[in-house]
Amino acid sequence: MLIYIIIFTYLLLMAMIDFVIKKDSLYNYLYFLFAIFIFFVAGFRAMGNDYDGYEEIFKEIKNLSFFQILDPSKVFVEPFFTVLNISLSGFPYQTILIVMAAANILVLFPFFLKYSPYPYVTLLFFSGMFLYSGIMGSIRQSLALAICLWAMVNYNNKKFWWLLFVAAMFHYTAVLVLIVRFLKNEYYSRKTYITIIVMAICSNLLFYEIFKRLIVFLPAVVTWKLEIYLATEEGTHFGLNAAVAIRLFTFILAYTYRDKIQEKFPKYGAIFLNIYFLSLVLYLGLGFLPQAAVRGSIYYLYVELLLVPMILYVSNTKNRIWIFTLYTLFSVWRHYEMITVYGETYMPYKTMLFDLL
């Protein structure tokens, strides 16, 4: 458990001084060192969510021929990850985790440094929400998410399509980011936001049976995955839970500060708010299928890591204190959930480095 305490304590301290520290070469150097540290924590781990599952995938894929890897009845992971497994088939399984950890960090950490007004505040919130479940868990989707962040800031140019294609080749759910192309880079009316939320609630309550019939028209791999969710999550339903409450609160807070956010961040302020709104709508609208709700909305939920620092940036000192404190408590709660609800997966932390020494 010590490793998690060290990470959280360091990020909390750096986040608190992020409001006043100069973003100079020393700042970038410390940021780089932390990225290296997380690379070793994530890449050389000998535990974590999906650790055993990815090892099984590695063993199965490396024995397939080229034509077999194109057969969805034999391979249920995306093409680029399949090719990566085959390319590294002559190396130990741990190599996959090392390469994916490096890829995740090389794509994600520079994005936070460039687009967040307070990168360490972003990392503090990220650590509780996605560091362990993503970079140390669902490594395919985590990489797709990181790539999609770059696609979102390039939503109105050709780079978007190339980035989205690469992301989808690591996790098919990345295609959901196509919705961003239809968003306006300006705030919608309050009536529009409310109407869409009402529609999401109706979907949550009424759409389950219709959805079961529609999935057969989706690609085979997607249908296979959704049918697993339907079978294992029957009777499970997301309603007005803590995740919905936090997203709704964050959206309302950002909407309240919308004019100041637009003034200070004219290029991305409005589009980030609208993208984040999608995380609320999809999570609520797909609540009848929890895994789809979580995995579908997570691409837009990542924007919270940028939106909250933007709120902090434009708020006055008094409001900044309580807002930062509140979201820090959210982060503490998410860390606590990680080591309790998912404690069997992450506790204790194990690394192959000690076995090599």
- Tens digits of per-residue pLDDT, 92-142? 999 999 999 999 999 999 999 999 999 999 999 999 888 888 899 889 999
Cα distances from 134 to residues 16, 127, 228, 270, in angstroms, run 25, 10, 21, 27
Write down the pLDDT at residue 254.
Answer: 96
CB atoms within 10 A of CB 13: 12
| Bridge partners for 351 per DSSP | 45
Cα-to-chain-centroid distance, residue 291: 14
Write down the pLDDT at residue 204.
Answer: 75
Q: What are phi and psi of 352, to 5 degrees?
A: -75, -15
For residue 157, what is the DSSP state? Answer: S
Low-confidence winner among 178-187, 232-241, 309-318, 340-349 (lowest mean pLDDT): 232-241
Cα-to-chain-centroid distance, residue 337: 17
Write down the pLDDT at residue 242.
Answer: 80
Task: Kindly tell me if the per-residue pLDDT of 344 is higher than 90.
Answer: no
Domain layout of the chain by residue ranges: 183-314
Low-confidence winner among 59-63, 185-189, 277-281 (lowest mean pLDDT): 59-63
Q: What does pLDDT average to over the chain?
A: 86
Going by C-alpha positions, the residue among 39, 256, 279 that lies closest to residue 176 is 279
Q: How confident is the model at residue 250 (pLDDT cuts 50, 70, 90)?
A: very high
Write down the pLDDT at residue 305.
Answer: 95
Write down the pLDDT at residue 122.
Answer: 96
Structure tokens at 228: 């697993």
Structure tokens at 124: 């503090």
The Cα 56–Cα 91 span in angstroms is 15
Q: How far apart are the first and last CA of the chain?
A: 21
Q: How confident is the model at residue 282 (pLDDT cuts 50, 70, 90)?
A: confident
The more confidently predicted of residues 158 and 73 is 158
Cα-to-chain-centroid distance, residue 150: 13
Write down the pLDDT at residue 22.
Answer: 86
Write down the pLDDT at residue 73.
Answer: 61
Q: What is the mean pLDDT of residues 139-159?
A: 93
Write down the pLDDT at residue 68.
Answer: 66
Write down the pLDDT at residue 33.
Answer: 96
Q: How confident is the model at residue 2 (pLDDT cuts 50, 70, 90)?
A: confident
The Cα 80–Cα 140 span in angstroms is 10
Q: What is the mean pLDDT of residues 307-314?
A: 96
Q: What are phi and psi of 273, to 5 degrees?
A: -65, -45
Residue burial 294-328, b: 16+ Cβ < 10 Å; e: rest: bbbbbbbbbbbbbbbbbbbbbbeeeeeeebbeebb
Indicate the pTM of the whole model: 0.89
